[in-house]
Chain A
């Protein structure tokens, strides 16, 4: 009964380093999303995917890349981390909406870039 699992849960990066955040879902959902949460800003959509092999830009895509090679996984990459990317990152998945769009969220990844 895992739902949406994010790896890792915490990470500290130095400016310029790269990393990949992994999101895995076991609900056979078509749609997957990456959001970042910052104080007073709510959740902002970085990238999303409406199916295996597809990706699309959200509100704040700059500095991030994504891949959806398998339906159950959605990877978020930071090629050259910057302090402005310090945030809490959430992955979510859902069926195609709006009727079935109850999105399920992971527990979050707290990323600090120093």
Chain B
């Protein structure tokens, strides 16, 4: 069975510091990985995806993610966090015609 895990419930970071949100995955075939963000009282918005190719994927709003096959990880990163980045972040894995989501990480950027 395929699954993603987001080991931390909440990530606190000071504004201007690097932000990392962790995701690990389990899949029998090729991993197709995604990051989504959810702002309060809104639906999820696509940030970026890894299908194949370069292990460093760049996405919206200055976010990037690093795919690491040996560690089965797909961590989301941003070099300098903004207060407006405070939101709920979801990692997702595509397979069998569906997206399977992790439980989400609340990111709090402290001014």
Interface residues of A (CB under 8 A from B): 4, 31, 33, 35, 40-45, 48, 50, 56, 58, 90, 92, 94, 96-99, 101-108
Contact = CB atoms under 8 A, between A and B. Distances in A.
B103 interface: yes
27 contacts: A4-B43, A31-B97, A33-B99, A35-B101, A40-B103, A42-B102, A43-B44, A45-B99, A48-B97, A48-B98, A90-B43, A90-B44, A94-B99, A97-B97, A98-B32, A98-B95, A101-B34, A101-B49, A101-B94, A102-B46, A103-B44, A103-B46, A104-B46, A105-B36, A106-B43, A107-B41, A107-B42
A50 B21 CA distance: 31
B90 A43 contact: yes
B51 A99 contact: yes
Given A4-B43, A90-B43, A98-B32, A103 B103 contact: no
A105 B44 contact: yes
Contacts of B51: 98-99
B45 interface: yes
Interface in B33-90: 34, 36, 41-46, 49, 51, 90
B87 to A, nearest CB: 14
B100 interface: yes
A43 B32 CA distance: 18
Contacts of A108: 41-43
